[in-house]
Structure 1
Amino acid sequence: MIYNKVLIFSDNPFLLEKLLEIIKEKKIDKLINFKIASSPFSNIMLGSLKVEKINIIDNLDYLINNFNLIISAHCKQIFPSELIEKVKCINIHPGLNPFNRGWYPQVFSIINKLPVGATIHEMDDEIDHGHIIIQKEVQCHSYDTSETVYNRVLEMELILFEQVIEKILNNKYDITTPVSDGNINLKSDFNEICNIDLKKDYTGQEFIDLLRALTHGNYNNAYFYDEDGNKIFVKISLQKENYENKF
């Protein structure tokens, strides 16, 4: 295999664990010594496995000198140009590039109706922008929340990873160029939509879409301020009608 010094960099414990399971099932770990790392602000525990905490900027020389392939799996740090130029960097991205690149693609796909899915791509010096190795769209239903769409995307990421990991390690994969630069959403854009303006006019569809886009498990995302200045968090519960359970 061409790439034999591999680091998987992730801030998502579920995804990291599942990726390692795929590697073990394929017995790739018998041929390559994979190392795993997370960002300093993450708290990932995977049993007896050591997850090294690495600040990319502070450890740039270490990464360049010790790895020839780095796989980013929901790593929340920006990869600098110097690292991308000297080490092959692959990104597992929870979005259908080039649509809604950046933060929380499924959130913005619910709002702006652009496609959502999973993409594995080469990294370049722009966010979620490089040549596409493989990608697949997932469905987004009217009764989905951010969480349910995200879980569907996670499942697809694992399916795609299983299909191409050996091709990536052998550098024998095809690439396609994104159809356009698409659009990008930053963390500041997400923070802005979380603050619900009670004086703004919404259609019923727009308001429901906003709330379900910001509803994600136990996270407190959407909020407004009441007349006393209290910050009030709000979520939505959606359920598809089940005729068997009707009175």
Structure 2
Amino acid sequence: MLKIAVLVSGGGSNLQSIIDDINSGALNCTIEYVISDRIGAYGIERAKKAGIKTIELDRKELKSDLSNTILGLVKGKVDLIVLAGYLSIISGDILKEFKNRIINIHPSLIPSFCGQGMYGIKVHEAVLEYGCKIAGCTVHLVDEGTDTGAIIIQKVVEVKEDDSSEVLQKRVLEQEHKALPEAISYFADEKITIEGRQIKIKK
């Protein structure tokens, strides 16, 4: 069975969607660790309620050692690292040790509205300011860049004329909660083939 570590920075609603799908039997994996880069993140509380081992790290204290610290915790213990609302940049040896085995959920249709400084509500504000007719989310592999890894899955929502950034964010988040467990299932069920930027999913 696929063993995963989930990394969070905030509320952990995407983590909850993974926990719910595991509990319902829709997702065939186990969460070995939930790791936060911020002390007091609510995602840690969600994990504790589900009986999952939790680790709280302080990104301000660890700074450039954060990724190496995480690598030390998960190396040899998990098969896949899942970034679920994790805001720190992954860097260093962990990218080599877990090449093609780190995934991230981003609240836009990459390559639009992504990269440095594009996270949370800022993404949805930018989508509305640009006048986009559709928005959505992307699950992608994590590489040396920021939101530059190969795309695994994307889900689309309509942008409505009376949308506020908060309303749009909520609609996109509903799709995130479907997309992230679905992407994990591709790894758990061995349905994913990675060839450079081309990712193929067995039907």
* Bin of the TM-score, shorter chain as denominator length: 0.7 to 0.9
In the alignment, which of 55, 58, 64 is matched to residue 52 of structure 1? 55
Q: Deviations over 1:158-210 (max 9, x none)?
A: 222343322122442256949xxxxxxxxxxxxxxxxxxxxxxxxxxxxxxxx
Closer/same/farther in 2, CA of residues 158 and 33 from structure 1, 3 Å limit: closer
Closer/same/farther in 2, CA of residues 166 and 74 from structure 1, 3 Å limit: same
Q: Give me the CA root mean square deviation.
A: 2.5
Cα distance, 1:65 vs. partner?
4.0
Structure 1 stretches lacking a partner, 5+ long: 179-247
* 1:64 and 2:75 correspond: yes
Residue aligning to 1:169: 188
Q: Supply the distance in 2 between the matched residues of 1:174 and 1:151 (Cα, whole angstroms).
A: 31
Cα distance, 1:22 vs. partner?
1.3
Q: Supply the distance in 1 between the matched residues of 2:4 and 2:138 (Cα, whole angstroms).
A: 20
Higher percent of residues as strand: 2
Q: Supply the distance in 2 between the matched residues of 1:13 and 1:33 (Cα, whole angstroms).
A: 14
Q: Supply the distance in 2 between the matched residues of 1:150 and 1:140 (Cα, whole angstroms).
A: 10
Read off the aligned partner of 1:57 and give its amino acid letter: S
Q: Supply the distance in 2 between the matched residues of 1:33 and 1:106 (Cα, whole angstroms).
A: 30
Residue aligning to 1:15: 14
Residue aligning to 1:226: none
* 1:25 and 2:17 correspond: no
Read off the aligned partner of 2:24 and give its amino acid letter: E
Closer/same/farther in 2, CA of residues 113 and 173 from structure 1, 3 Å limit: farther
Q: Supply the distance in 1 between the matched residues of 2:17 and 2:31 (Cα, whole angstroms).
A: 17
Cα distance, 1:42 vs. partner?
4.4
Read off the aligned partner of 2:15 and give its amino acid letter: L
Residue aligning to 1:136: 155
Matches within 5 A, 1:128-207: 128-173=147-192, 177=197
Higher relative contact order (CA 8 A, sep 6+): 2
Closer/same/farther in 2, CA of residues 92 and 36 from structure 1, 3 Å limit: same
Residue aligning to 2:36: 38
**Equivalent pair of 2:68/2:94 in contact (CA under 8 Å):** no
Point out the structure with max Rg over C-alpha.
Answer: 1
Q: Deviations over 1:136-155 (max 9, x none)?
A: 22111121111111111111
Residue aligning to 1:106: 124
Q: Supply the distance in 2 between the matched residues of 1:68 and 1:164 (Cα, whole angstroms).
A: 14
Closer/same/farther in 2, CA of residues 128 and 171 from structure 1, 3 Å limit: farther
Read off the aligned partner of 2:22 and give its amino acid letter: I
Q: How many residues align?
A: 175
Structure 2 stretches lacking a partner, 5+ long: 60-65, 199-203
